[in-house]
């Protein structure tokens, strides 16, 4: 498709490298968000090596997750050199949702938003990708459903260091990203998510630094300075900043959000541990006591879904059994009987069964006088040899020939 296949409605936002436009598909009338890149591409090869291609590859790998934004298609207009990504349309971002609020969000919403965000981050990390720019503006809402967006800065977890230093938005940048020359990893996403959790609880940013050094000082003022061993490790990979901070005890998070539940404060603290090696992972955070209520609800829904599936399977089985019972009166005609099987043939006729084709019954010895017992449910008895059990296939299952009231097909 081309840009002419969409009717542009209004601009929704603009960043350094792109602008987002609300549009509508001419063919399907679906409302979408089109991310138009500002850079002009002379050839398609330039597109392939541009950062947006990293975003496209990551989105394709992460598609169909309920908390990752859905990429609908990629548009490249060769005459103008413009590149655009077409996404599903969401209502607003998390920053817009809390901007100007005077009344705090309900705890249920805070818990739900954070849980959904962590599920998105965990899915990315499980697929060996980390976002690198977790902030409220990149977290989108449709009603109360949350999706993580703007993967233009994402990186492979196992890619080679050093990374770009100034990649994430400063206020949500982790200490290892601030102080080293690009020696950080996926744990920076957890730090950013911790800052977001604080912000939607307090309705103001936790570390609104004016520059990198001010950002570090703001972190120290609240969390205190870290263990000297951590600073020593950072110092090995730092040339742009002198890491020589006097020891300081922070004021703590509790004073900033005095009405927050204790388990919420504990979760933020674990997400904002200075040492990335000690910082909680997304998977561990999802198992934190703060989310127990949501996990219990998920298990209840899973149980209800399982019970519904079992009932559906049972209903299908019952229908199949009814169908089998309706066809048990059908036996193949042209059945090959020998002289000693006449009584058995008559017993079928006496039951008003319709004989169709192709079942051959085993020959009975002359000494087997009682045919009903000879064709009993357990064994076919012989006079000279050991007991033999003849097996037949009954609707795909093994069955004794003795149960002759059922339809028989030779194995």
The residues that are catalytic are 133
Rg (CA), the chain: 35
CB atoms within 10 A of CB 227: 11
Counting Cβ atoms within 10 Å, is residue 33 exposed (0-12), middle (13-18) or buried (19+)?
buried
Q: Is residue 10 classed as helix, strand or coil in its secondary structure?
A: strand
Contact 187, 283 (CB under 8 A): no
Contact 371, 348 (CB under 8 A): no
Contact 122, 111 (CB under 8 A): no
Task: State both tokens at 25.
Answer: 């598909």
| CA-to-CA dists, residue 46 to 20, 54, 61, 71, 74, angstroms | 21, 13, 21, 21, 15
Q: Is residue 268 classed as helix, strand or coil in its secondary structure?
A: helix
Counting Cβ atoms within 10 Å, is residue 262 exposed (0-12), middle (13-18) or buried (19+)?
exposed
**How far separated are the first and last CA of the chain, in Å rounded?**
57
Q: Which residue has the tokens 């972190």?
A: 219
Cα gap 196→180, rounded to integer Å: 23
- DSSP structure string for 93-159: EHHHHHTT--SPPPHHHHHHHHHHHHHHHHHHHHTTEE-S---GGGEEEETTEEEE---TT-EETTS
| Phi, psi dihedrals of residue 50, rounded to the nearest 5° | -80, 155
| Phi, psi dihedrals of residue 48, rounded to the nearest 5° | -65, -30
DSSP state of 341: G
Q: Which residue has the tokens 């233009």?
A: 152
Cα gap 159→128, rounded to integer Å: 10
């Amino acid at each position: 498709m081309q840009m002419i296949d969409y009717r542009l409605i209004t601009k929704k936002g603009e960043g350094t490298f792109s602008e987002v436009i609300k549009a509508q598909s001419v063919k399907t009338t679906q409302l979408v968000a089109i991310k138009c890149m500002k850079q002009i591409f002379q050839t398609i090869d330039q597109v392939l090596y541009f950062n947006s291609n990293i975003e496209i590859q990551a989105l394709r790998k992460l598609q169909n997750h309920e908390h990752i934004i859905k990429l609908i298609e990629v548009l490249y207009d060769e005459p103008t050199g413009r590149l655009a990504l077409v996404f599903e349309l969401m209502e607003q971002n998390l920053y817009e949702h809390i901007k100007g609020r005077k009344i705090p969000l309900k705890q249920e919403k805070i818990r739900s938003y954070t849980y959904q965000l962590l599920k998105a981050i965990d899915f990315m990390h499980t697929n060996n990708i980390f976002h690198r720019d977790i902030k409220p503006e990149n977290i989108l809402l449709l009603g109360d459903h949350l999706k993580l967006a703007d993967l233009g800065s994402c990186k492979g977890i196992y890619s080679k260091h050093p990374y770009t230093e100034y990649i994430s938005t400063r206020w949500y940048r982790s200490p290892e990203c601030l102080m080293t020359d690009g020696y950080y990893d996926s744990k920076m996403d957890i730090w950013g998510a911790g800052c977001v959790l604080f912000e939607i609880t307090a309705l103001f940013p936790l570390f609104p630094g004016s520059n990198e050094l001010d950002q570090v000082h703001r972190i120290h003022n609240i969390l205190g300075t870290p263990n000297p061993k951590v600073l020593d490790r950072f110092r090995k990979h730092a040339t742009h900043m002198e890491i020589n901070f006097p020891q300081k005890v922070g004021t703590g998070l509790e004073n900033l959000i005095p009405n927050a539940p204790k388990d919420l404060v504990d979760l933020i603290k674990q997400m904002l541990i200075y040492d990335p090696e000690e910082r909680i992972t997304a998977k561990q955070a999802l198992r934190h006591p703060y989310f127990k209520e949501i996990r219990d609800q998920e298990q209840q829904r899973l149980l209800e879904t399982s019970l519904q599936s079992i009932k559906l399977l049972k209903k299908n089985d019952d229908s199949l059994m009814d169908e089998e019972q309706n066809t048990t009166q059908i036996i193949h005609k042209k059945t090959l009987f020998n002289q000693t099987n006449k009584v058995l043939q008559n017993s079928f006729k006496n039951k008003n069964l319709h004989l169709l084709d192709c079942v051959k019954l085993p020959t009975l010895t002359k000494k087997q006088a009682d045919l009903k017992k000879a064709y009993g449910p357990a064994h076919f008895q012989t006079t000279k040899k050991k007991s033999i059990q003849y097996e037949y296939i009954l609707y795909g299952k093994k069955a004794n020939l003795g149960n002759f009231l059922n339809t028989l097909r030779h194995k």
